[in-house]
Amino acid sequence: MSANVGILCIFVVLFMAIEAMGVVTRAAPMDQISENKNLFNKTRPRSQSRSRPIDYTFELPIATTSWPQGNGFAGGILDLGGLQVSQVSTFRKVWGAYDGGPDNQGASVYEPTSVPKGFSMLGSYSQPNNKPLFGYVLVAKDVSSSTSNGTLKPPIDYTLLWNTSSLSANQNSTLYIWLPVAPDGYKALGHIVTTTPEKPSLDKIMSVRSDLTEQCETTSWIWGSNDFNFYDVRPSNRGTQSPGVRVGTFVAQNGGNTNPSSISCLKNLNSISKVMPNQKQIEAILQVYSPFLYLHSDEEYFPSSVNWFFSNGALLYKKGDELNPIQIQQNGTNLPQDHNYDDSYWINLPVDDANKEKVKRGNLESAESYVHVKPMFGGTFSDIVMWIYYPFNGPARAKVELINIKLGKIGEHVGDWEHVTLRVSNLDGKLWQMYFSQHSSGSWVDSSQIEFQNDTTKRPIVYASLHGHAAYPHEGLVLLGENGIGVRDDTNKGSNVMDMGKFVLVSADYLGSVKEPAWLNFYREWGPKIDYNLDEQLKNLKKVLIIGKLKEAFERMIKTLPNEMLGEEGPTGPKAKKVWNGDEV
């Protein structure tokens, strides 16, 4: 009896200590399951007849077939310089495996169908089975005037790279993977696949003249074993001025993720902005695809418009004259416009406490997204970057197994720029991917994997994490750590929603007619740099972790946090970030 009472007393004392520290003692939601790279399930073969996501073809909720008239946007064909390309997203399945790959659901390989007359295949398409069928490959047509040195030529032979006959994977047939042997001065852009050992016909696929190709790199893993793997590929050099064009084919190679790839990407020798959307088309695209941003139900720090932030007392500070900050004018017209990244100026909240707290909370009613449109993949896609401004980023929280801990000032800073990016094809006008920024990184998500509003708009949904405002495609807990220990990014479908379709176009260099607001060319930080005693912050937090192993794990986790979470320092504005002229990742 006395032992039980003693144990009960220990738990009561621990509970009181945790409550005093602001720790929630309820069990946290399950962490996101990391990608399962178990290659083949030998003990429990998966049924070929069982339905998988790949068995369904994904279609965007609203099919837009017409856009405002303009310069060829969504016209279906782009001339890269004597080589026309068209985008094909209808396929015939050649082969499928039913285990291995992401989520151990297998992968499938396809050939394009409904290829326009006069166009030729450049390679096969492949994707994991854990997602609905949703992809494309480019097909090409020689429109050059040369009779001997055209932009396309058939291969002179094929090399058999691999076949799946020796694999224990559950598959519908044996797959043979062939690499075209291109003539001198030409390069292969993809593979041919068959289910028999006979070589394919040489006119099945085309090679492309070398001056119209760029080096590729492997990206996401599709399927494979330790000895042989399939990967998606993209141009190695990417940015607003980079001519590399993603073809949509996959690479098969021995071993792991090695670069450069054995196949090439295309290169646009013509103007990159040739089929970029005009201003009316941009507005139409955003009317269809701009997201709704759902804030967490416990969120205290909301977005606002930049001008609301300025008009409610935001101040500009100058180094050496800190006692005389100045009020920032509308559109930031009195902000320094030189392209320096030094710490000679910075923005801060109002000085008086009442107004400071008001501004920290933001103003959802005034919030608007700030749109930057830029070419990507040699002008075959438009990246429509939608920036959101939060006057304040709230404190972070950690999860240590079953214990949730408020991290004091860790994670707090004035000014918080977040963004999502819509990747829209300039050939067919479809939204193919969205990028969700998450702290100092983020992730691309296929349109087949995002959520859409269940109303007449059918527009995409974005979830903003509590206090940190990281963007995610689904609600729930993402744990920034491992083994049940890390910083929490919590999202849910709260009642506060921002319609990102309320926007201001702030930049599109290729148009030449968009007037950029002055605040966009302020390259310094949107918040002060405040160094606080991190050791003192952590000292009190660790008191609740009476188990030595938890303390050690917590300390290791803290050391992995990005620098912006370990002190109060405002971010730079959108134009000062690397992604302004480059790809996201």
Residue 551 · residue 545 · CB < 8 Å: yes
Residue 515 backbone class (left: φ over 0; alpha: ψ -120 to 50; beta: rest): beta
Could you count the other beta carbons within 10 Å of the beta carbon of residue 547? 10
Supply the DSSP string of 268-322, one letter for each residue.
--S-TTTT---HHHHHHHHHHHPPEEEEPTT-------HHHHHHTT-EEEETT-T
Residues 6+ apart with CB under 8 A from 169: 39, 40, 97, 98, 99, 100, 106
- The H or E element containing residue 476 is strand 476-482
Residue 303 · residue 362 · CB < 8 Å: yes
Residue 152, SS3? Answer: strand
Task: Classify each residue of 403-425 as buried b or exposed e, where b means 16 or more C-beta atoms within 10 Å of its C-beta.
Answer: bbbebbbbbbbbbbbbbbbbbbb
Residues 6+ apart with CB under 8 A from 306: 331, 332, 370, 389, 517, 519
Using DSSP bridges, classify how beta strands 292-295 and 461-464 pair: parallel, antiparallel or unpaired. parallel
* Burial of 539 from C-beta contacts in 10 A (0-12 / 13-18 / 19+): exposed
Q: What per-residue confidence (pLDDT) applies to 454?
A: 94
Supply the DSSP string of 420-439, one letter for each residue.
EEEEEETTT--EEEEEEEET
Amino acid identity of residue 539, one-letter, is K
Q: What per-residue confidence (pLDDT) applies to 12?
A: 33
Which single residue is written with the structure tokens 């910075």? 346
Q: Which two tokens stand for residue 360?
A: 């920290």
Residue 361 · residue 352 · CB < 8 Å: no
Name the stretches of the chain with pLDDT < 70: 1-49, 532-549, 559, 561-568
Q: What per-residue confidence (pLDDT) applies to 481?
A: 84
Which single residue is written with the structure tokens 């955003």? 286
Q: Which two tokens stand for residue 539?
A: 């000292």
Domain segments of the chain as ranges? 53-267, 279-580
Whether omega for the bond prior to residue 571 falls within 30 degrees of 0, making it cis, is no
Per residue in 439-460, pLDDT tens? 889 999 999 999 999 999 999 9
Q: Which two tokens stand for residue 480?
A: 């920034």
Residue 372 · residue 421 · CB < 8 Å: no
Q: Can you give the length of the chain in residues?
A: 585
Q: What per-residue confidence (pLDDT) applies to 525?
A: 96
User: CB under 8 Å, gap of 24 or more: what pairs does 281-284 form?
Assistant: 281/67, 281/68, 281/70, 281/73, 282/371, 282/373, 282/384, 282/505, 282/508, 284/67, 284/68
Q: What per-residue confidence (pLDDT) applies to 408?
A: 80
The CA angle 219-288-126, to the nearest 5 degrees, is: 25
* Burial of 24 from C-beta contacts in 10 A (0-12 / 13-18 / 19+): middle
DSSP state of 535: H
Closest CA to 509 of 560, 581, 445: 581
Q: What per-residue confidence (pLDDT) applies to 547?
A: 58
